[in-house]
Amino acid sequence: MTVCAAGAEGSAPAHYKGESMKRKFFSRLAAILCTCAMGIPLFVFAACNPSQPDPSGDGTDQDGTDNTQDSGMNGWYVLSQKTVEGYDTTGEYLFNCLHLDEDSAVWYETDYTGRSEREGTVEETEEGILIVIGIREYAFSYDEDAKTLSFSGKIDRQDVTMRYTYDADYALPAQVSAGVAFTDELFGEDKSENFYNYCPTTVMEGNDTLHVWYCSNRDSGNVTDYVAYRKGTLNSAGKWEFTEKQLVLEHGESGEWDSRHVCDPTVIQGNFSLNGESYSWLMAYLGCKTSNNTCNEVGIAVAKAPEGPWVKVESLNPIANYYQSDAYVGNENKWGFGQSSLVSVDGEGKVLLFYAMGAAKTCTVVEEWDLSDLGAPQMLRKAEVRERGVTNASGGSDCINNADFAYDPVRGRLYCIKEDFPYPTDGGVNWIAGTNTLLYLEIGENFDLLFGDETYVWNKFAALDTGTGHARNHNAGFVRNGQGNLIDPYRVPVLYTAAELAENYPDWNAGGQWPSLHTYRIHGIEFTIL
């Protein structure tokens, strides 16, 4: 699928359905600004081609005409401030600008979802300048002294302010052809090569860098899980360019608790000390020594950089020990503990560790730890995550399983994306989810609600389902900042794993390969919150 080139022209649906979910809650502003009074133009514009404004970005039109030295409002206007419901979103754009000339203007915007450009019309009113884009109207004011265009009003039922400031020296970044859209298959080997990529955890750094850790295999056709890493960089075309795969965490030696597989990473930033060394990155991961999907456990590793080297905290591991837990008694051959999610409590060493438990029942557990000194870790409290209000994509009751979590400090909400039961059975694939449900919990400024006796209720706000174009959508994770927080309280980007069915992939058993696993690939999607 391609990323939407234009913003939402109406309210965004809570449920992803094909193209509709790619629309954003912002309006894409492109404007043609021209005002007259008493039949005399108030501003003087240079003539240029309205459909091709300055494609070079150097201040000249296609015929070489300089359009940056005109009087009045001609030239480039760069976004200097934007808020949504009082929240500053200015820094979320790689670039956002308007180009104005005699009777046309084009608005350019690039953020993690892609690059867009749109045109519109304008007329002078008693209140100011009216910008019309499609059926939407926007009333702008112009400050001649400051050379700013300002908007304040409702967009998709939200209070939005915007200010664009004239910049005579601005040059539009040139287009490039490389990269992939956020909604595309982000990276991975050709499916015929028998490699898999799934279960991403992601940290967004600034507005143009994605750190992605995920599960993959090292050898073609060999089902042995490693934690892999790629760094993504957003280019001027709104596309992502990723580095080559690096295997940054491997299984332990024979007989160790994680000797068979390591996978399902979750990563946050903070301050952690181990053996006299300081580390700024913390990973929780699933490890096991079995080959039959039983007795999984959770371990911890640290690093000084996203790409590593990652150091396992052997003195602590496994931090969630299935064999020594009460859950193990009578459930010796059950799934165990894993599929963890980390959220920072204080930006330093205190963390919430969520993980799935598959023993006598399936649920999710949360533990609060102080891991500032990994030589003397402290578990502060523990609870089972309650499931009142939890549903699947069809609205039926469900448990929280294989979930990722993120905190929104602006609204005081804890967000959850979890896989839905029952798993579908069509297409010969009955062991992975087809849909995921997105939920939030009104939790306030701290996490006490998770550990107290007070009843709380989860609220569903979206579903990740076959509207993606894929029959199977599973092992999803939020795009978060380094503390495990949402990057925006109104936009929720997610990376998820898509898989194909037998009828969708002609070489289903290529090279004796396992069905479906070699089709696992990672894609992005964005949800909006109104």
Boundaries of every domain in the chain:
18-166, 199-528
- Domain 18-166 grouped into CATH 1.10.3720.10: no
Whether the ω angle into residue 53 lies within 30 degrees of 0, i.e. cis, is no
DSSP letter string, 176-203: ---SB-TTS--S---GGG---EEEEEEE
Check if the beta carbon of residue 505 is closer than 8 Å to that of residue 432: no
pLDDT of residue 431 exceeding 80, the answer is yes
- Specify whether the backbone of 128 is left (phi greater than 0), alpha (psi in -120 to 50) or beta: left
Equal fold, 18-166 vs 199-528: no
**Listed range (108-112, 143-147, 433-437) with the worst mean pLDDT:** 143-147
pLDDT of residue 255 exceeding 80, the answer is yes
pLDDT digits (tens, 9 = 90+) for 128-181: 677 777 788 888 898 989 999 999 999 888 899 999 999 999 999 998 999 999
User: CB-side exposure of 479: number of CA atoms within 13 Å?
Assistant: 28
pLDDT of residue 492 exceeding 70, the answer is yes
Give the pLDDT band of residue 27 (cuts 50, 70, 90): very low
**Maximum Cα interatomic distance, the chain, rounded to a whole number of Å:** 89
pLDDT for 511 equals 61
- For residue 501, the one-letter residue type is L
Four-point Cα dihedral 136, 137, 138, 140, nearest 10: 150
The pTM score is: 0.86
Check if the beta carbon of residue 55 is closer than 8 Å to that of residue 131: no
Give the pLDDT band of residue 72 (cuts 50, 70, 90): low
pLDDT for 30 equals 32
pLDDT for 502 equals 83
pLDDT digits (tens, 9 = 90+) for 283-318: 999 999 999 999 999 999 999 999 999 999 999 999
Alpha-carbon span 250 to 212, nearest angstrom: 16
pLDDT mean over 111-125:
85
Exposure pattern of 95-126 as b/e (b: 16+ CB <10 Å)? bbbbbbbbebbbbbbbbbbbbbbbebbbeeee
pLDDT for 345 equals 98
For residue 245, which phi and psi values (nearest 5 degrees)? -65, 135
Of residues 337, 477, 348, the one with CA closest to residue 415? 477
Check if the beta carbon of residue 264 is closer than 8 Å to that of residue 296: no
Alpha-carbon span 167 to 148, nearest angstrom: 10
Q: Is 528 exposed, middle or buried (0-12, 13-18, 19+ CB in 10 A)?
A: buried
pLDDT of residue 441 exceeding 60, the answer is yes
Residues 6+ apart with CB under 8 A from 465: 15, 16, 393, 434, 435, 436, 473
pLDDT of residue 18 exceeding 60, the answer is no
Neighbours of 87 (CB within 10 A): 14
Strand segments (E) across 259-310: 261-274, 277-288, 297-303
For residue 101, which phi and psi values (nearest 5 degrees)? -140, -160
pLDDT mean over 62-85:
69
pLDDT of residue 38 exceeding 70, the answer is no
Alpha-carbon span 88 to 81, nearest angstrom: 8
Q: Assign domain 199-528 to its CATH superfamily.
A: Glycosyl hydrolase domain; family 43 (2.115.10.20)
pLDDT digits (tens, 9 = 90+) for 341-398: 999 999 999 999 999 999 999 999 999 999 999 999 999 999 999 999 999 999 999 9
**Listed range (335-339, 430-434, 507-511) with the worst mean pLDDT:** 507-511
DSSP letter string, 414-463: EEEEEEPSSPP-GGG--SS-S-EEEEEEE-TTSSHHHHSS-----EEEEE
pLDDT for 51 equals 36
Alpha-carbon span 450 to 76, nearest angstrom: 50
Q: What is the mean pLDDT of the chain?
A: 86
**Listed range (44-53, 285-294, 331-340) with the worst mean pLDDT:** 44-53
pLDDT mean over 1-26:
30
